[in-house]
Amino acid sequence: MKRTLVLLTAIIICIVSTIAFLHSSKKTEYNILMQNVEALAGGENLTPVHCAGLGCVDCPINAVKVKYVVSGWSFNE
């Protein structure tokens, strides 16, 4: 009777730990997948953008209407 109870307890512990491991593994894979999707959506465009004035042009940084949008590299900064 004791041996059966110990064996049953060990089996239940193995099943619960396996389920917990598989659940955490799926969550990690999902997080990595979402980070990859966000990285691809962000693109590789690293040129600096400067917005100035008030006008009718959309600033790509914060979607505010500005007069001038200047992008590209500058040696003056």
Backbone angles phi, psi at 61, to 5 degrees: -75, -50
Query: Which pLDDT value is given to residue 43?
Result: 61
In degrees, rounded to 5, the angle at the alpha carbon of residue 60 between the alpha carbons of residues 53 and 31 is 150
C-beta of residue 48 within 8 angstroms of C-beta of residue 60: no
Task: Specify the higher pLDDT residue, 36 or 68.
Answer: 68
User: Per-residue pLDDT for 76 more than 70?
Assistant: no
C-beta of residue 29 within 8 angstroms of C-beta of residue 21: no
Residue boundaries of the structural domains of the chain: 1-44, 46-77
> pLDDT per residue over 28-66, tens digit each?
677 778 777 777 776 665 667 788 889 998 888 888 899
